[in-house]
Structure 1
Amino acid sequence: KKPNNGLGVFFTTYRLVHFCQGQMMNQALSVVVEWYDPVPMVKRSFLLKYYPEVKQVEMIERTNNFSRSFLKKSPVPNELRFPEQLIKGSQFPLYARVLTVIEYADAYTREKLGAKYVGDELSIACISIEADGEKFGAVLSALEEVCGPLLRLRYVRLNSTEAEDLVETFQNNDCDSATIWSSGPAIVAIFTKNIFTAEACRVVGRQFNAPGSIVSSTSPRLSSLLFERPLAHWPTARFGPHCTCLIIKPHAIADKKAGAIIAHIEDKLSSSLKLTAASLVKLERSSAHEFLEAYQSVLPDYQAHLTQLSTGAALVLEIHGPNAVQFLRDLCGPYDVDFARELRPDSIRAKFGENDAVHNAVHCTDLSTDGAIESQFFFSLCAGQLPPP
């Protein structure tokens, strides 16, 4: 008998489709990462592969002479935000090792992670805000939606010379007056260079009736001016007895909630309370432990809290004024998100936290005597622990 060619074609096509679907499901995002091994005191290089469909990751160690499996396919820990944290320059802890993303390993990964980006350059958004800073959160939230999560941020006050340097760096009509930048506080934020960032700044400026006060640039000179060189009025923190600190946790930064959280705070601020400082910091695990050590015997999931605070960039705010500590504690709500939603549904943790105490969006100063200490810790001792550009 002649073979049933139609049936053979059917099975061949079925196998091919099934194979292609399997290949698509197994398509990995691949990046080159480095880990500093403290025992021999050397940097080790790895190829890290992330499989989005199954949320698993594997690592292959690479040297000049060989490559070997270092981590077999394993689940991605819940506290990590992949693929957002795989962007070049990001740092994250994976199974007790802090890894730094050095580069994308293939064209597929570059296309997927950089679909909205141009090369690997950075885009700096400068936001001049009114003296009371009431638009900071709303503006930042609008930019996050278009430009993605923050990479670096500083709350600054520029003197006239620094403002003139900033205007000269832009060299365009979007930023033509040094007076705007020296008359009050400003926020400088860095995003991965997004093709929409410049237009987003113009649109947001018109939206908030502030044309020329929200501008964007990719100049390395501007990054050096605002983040590398010492500024006359940095830090802007008060370090006084009437200050309190709020830490917006890495998971909330990765989820682009920073602007919305700040806007929520600004809506509740009285005329006697002011936002006086802000900075994006990346804490090493040892620094996170130093900060949270007092909670070690109190928090049942202390190690998970430690991992979350050191897993990525966190945004620290200082608020200054009478009863600032109590005001912010009440606004944050209960530590446990479920309790917060039941008891204080309008609190920060109820509105922006996830379903456990570790991912409750924010940490705030507990005791009135700790405000100045925590402000000193973040804006002085940890001032150099900025995320890599």
Structure 2
Amino acid sequence: MGTKIFSIALVVAFAAILINTYMKNKGETRYIFHAEWYDPVSATIKKFHLSFFPRDKSVEMYDLRAQRLFLKRFQIEGIDERDLYLGNTIVILSRQLKITDYADATTREHISTRRQRTFAMVKPDAVHRLGEVIDIIQSRDFEVSQMKMVQLLRSQAAMFYREHEGRPFFEPLLDYVTSGAVVAMELITTDAVKRWRETLGPTDSEAARQDAPDTIRAKFGKDKQSNAAHGSDSDVSATREIEFFFPSSKMNNALVPETTAKFVNNTCCIIKPHAIAAGNLGGIIRAITEGGFDITALQMFRLDKIQAEEFLEVYKGVVNEYPGMVQQLIAGPSVALEIQSIHGAETPAKFREFVGPADPDVARELRPNSLRARFGEDKIKNALHCSDLPDDGVLEVEYFFKILQ
């Protein structure tokens, strides 16, 4: 049995090499990845070679188990070379494919150098400026691939900063980083570690204001300790720090910092995939906080079709846009927020008014300053979902910050 599996693996690897060699001889670039799709009908994980042709942004899929072509090459909207990195999920014909590995050395060499990961953390003193920080991140061509707001326990902070243990600033550092919520992020771009360190600026915020006034620490930091944000100093550190907050195995979940969700006097807001892809994540978060609302929990999710249908079930058979709403929620990463405000139990109604009518065209006529008027495109790509009723807010926040955890 083991010999047979090994032989199949060799055939698959050799096939990937032959395909790429053939395409090179034709003068066309082709990247090949291992990808997985969970088939809910058979309750099995199906594995494919996913090929991407950057010349015309077309894709092709080869079924590894059946050893036959599954999907003939065709052009598809919404998928770009920047979306092709390990761990990402892309949608092809309503199927969510998770990219698990490179299928050949050419793809690995090209993509891994251009799609490097690094870890970023917005510290307690700058969380209230999160929208502005994300604006800078997206303007520098970083992609936010994972993101969540957490509250660190002292023991967790000590583990995260363990390389500093024994130094004079270690205990004050733990006091500071556990004094409020932090927002952890995985960022991806070319030469990500170096570029994020440059974007942060010098450790001392005062020095940053003198030497690098356009950096994050210069704009949002206070001093050497309360310096707004953290960044990994190497590939090795980035891998460790990403794993700390976003573990690849459920075995590590017991150590993961918990959500900051309050689950009371709240409402739910979902920033939709198209708004994130358009670079509006920071602008929407900034608008929410400037509008007098508090973001008390935040996390990026990649919903599958079953989860999206479950979450939107109340709209099934009620609104004509339901199928499109489901497709939009699975089209890419979305960000779930728990919203609170000084309005207490009236928060859901106040926030819904702030978000505006479901149709952005109507919103632009009736409520031109609403979020959907500013960031929406049409009735499906209307930038945000928000809870309809007070009871819905509690249930929807629990869905994301309890059930999906």
TM exceeding 0.5:
yes
Secondary structure at the aligned position of 2:261 is classed as coil
Q: Is the 8 A contact 2:36 2:97 kept in 1?
A: yes
1:323-338 superposed matches below 5 A: 323-338=346-361
The aligned residue for residue 36 of structure 1 is: 38
Q: TM-score, normalized by length of structure 2?
A: 0.76
Secondary structure at the aligned position of 1:319 is classed as strand
Shift in CA distance, 51/341, structure 1 to aligned 2, threshold 3 Å: farther
Mean CA deviation greater in 104-113 or 83-92? 104-113
Q: Number of paired residues?
A: 348
The aligned residue for residue 313 of structure 2 is: 293
Deviation at 1:137, TM superposition (A): 1.2
Letter in 1 for 2:145: L
Q: Percent identity?
A: 31
Deviation at 1:332, TM superposition (A): 1.8
Letter in 2 for 1:366: D
Q: Higher helix fraction: Structure 1 or Structure 2?
A: 2
1:190-205 superposed matches below 5 A: 190-192=186-188, 194-195=192-193, 196-202=195-201, 203-205=215-217
Identify the match of residue 64 of structure 2 among 62, 65, 80.
62
- Once residues 402 and 315 of structure 2 are traced to their aligned partners in structure 1, the CA distance between those partners, rounded to angstroms, is 22
The aligned residue for residue 125 of structure 2 is: 130
Mean CA deviation greater in 369-378 or 296-305? 296-305
The aligned residue for residue 13 of structure 1 is: none
The aligned residue for residue 17 of structure 1 is: none
1:131-210 superposed matches below 5 A: 133-146=127-140, 148-169=142-163, 177-192=173-188, 194-195=192-193, 196-202=195-201, 203-210=215-222
The aligned residue for residue 95 of structure 2 is: 97
Deviation at 1:55, TM superposition (A): 4.1
Max radius of gyration: which structure? 1
- Once residues 399 and 41 of structure 2 are traced to their aligned partners in structure 1, the CA distance between those partners, rounded to angstroms, is 28
Mean CA deviation greater in 100-109 or 294-303? 100-109
- Once residues 377 and 40 of structure 1 are traced to their aligned partners in structure 2, the CA distance between those partners, rounded to angstroms, is 25
Shift in CA distance, 171/247, structure 1 to aligned 2, threshold 3 Å: farther
Q: Provide Cα deviations, 1:76-115, integer angstroms capped at 9, x if missing partner.
A: 1x4x343333222111332232211123345665566455
- Once residues 331 and 108 of structure 1 are traced to their aligned partners in structure 2, the CA distance between those partners, rounded to angstroms, is 49
Deviation at 1:53, TM superposition (A): 4.6
Letter in 2 for 1:199: E
- Once residues 108 and 369 of structure 2 are traced to their aligned partners in structure 1, the CA distance between those partners, rounded to angstroms, is 40
Q: Is the 8 A contact 1:280 1:314 kept in 2?
A: yes
Deviation at 1:247, TM superposition (A): 0.5
Deviation at 1:219, TM superposition (A): 4.2
Residue ranges of structure 2 left out of the alignment (5+ in a row) = 1-25, 202-214, 247-251
Secondary structure at the aligned position of 2:128 is classed as coil
Shift in CA distance, 40/325, structure 1 to aligned 2, threshold 3 Å: closer
Q: Is the 8 A contact 1:91 1:311 kept in 2?
A: no
Secondary structure at the aligned position of 2:37 is classed as strand
Deviation at 1:135, TM superposition (A): 0.6
Q: Is the 8 A contact 1:149 1:254 kept in 2?
A: no
Q: RMSD between aligned alpha carbons? A: 3.1
Shift in CA distance, 48/359, structure 1 to aligned 2, threshold 3 Å: same
Matched, 1:216 2:216: no
Shift in CA distance, 59/221, structure 1 to aligned 2, threshold 3 Å: closer
1:1-389 superposed matches below 5 A: 27-38=29-40, 41-63=43-65, 67-76=67-76, 78=77, 80-106=78-104, 109-110=107-108, 113-114=111-112, 116-118=114-116, 122-130=117-125, 133-146=127-140, 148-169=142-163, 177-192=173-188, 194-195=192-193, 196-202=195-201, 203-210=215-222, 212-217=227-232, 218-227=237-246, 228-230=252-254, 234-240=258-264, 242-269=265-292, 273-321=293-341, 322=343, 323-354=346-377, 356-383=378-405
**Greater length-normalized contact order (CA 8 Å, ≥ 6 residues apart):** 1
Q: Is the 8 A contact 2:216 2:228 kept in 1?
A: no
The aligned residue for residue 3 of structure 2 is: none
Deviation at 1:362, TM superposition (A): 1.3
- Once residues 389 and 36 of structure 2 are traced to their aligned partners in structure 1, the CA distance between those partners, rounded to angstroms, is 39
Letter in 2 for 1:278: L
Q: TM-score, normalized by length of structure 1?
A: 0.79
- Once residues 361 and 373 of structure 1 are traced to their aligned partners in structure 2, the CA distance between those partners, rounded to angstroms, is 21
The aligned residue for residue 17 of structure 2 is: none
Deviation at 1:224, TM superposition (A): 4.1
Shift in CA distance, 188/325, structure 1 to aligned 2, threshold 3 Å: same
- Once residues 404 and 260 of structure 2 are traced to their aligned partners in structure 1, the CA distance between those partners, rounded to angstroms, is 14
Q: Is the 8 A contact 2:124 2:179 kept in 1?
A: no
Deviation at 1:34, TM superposition (A): 1.9
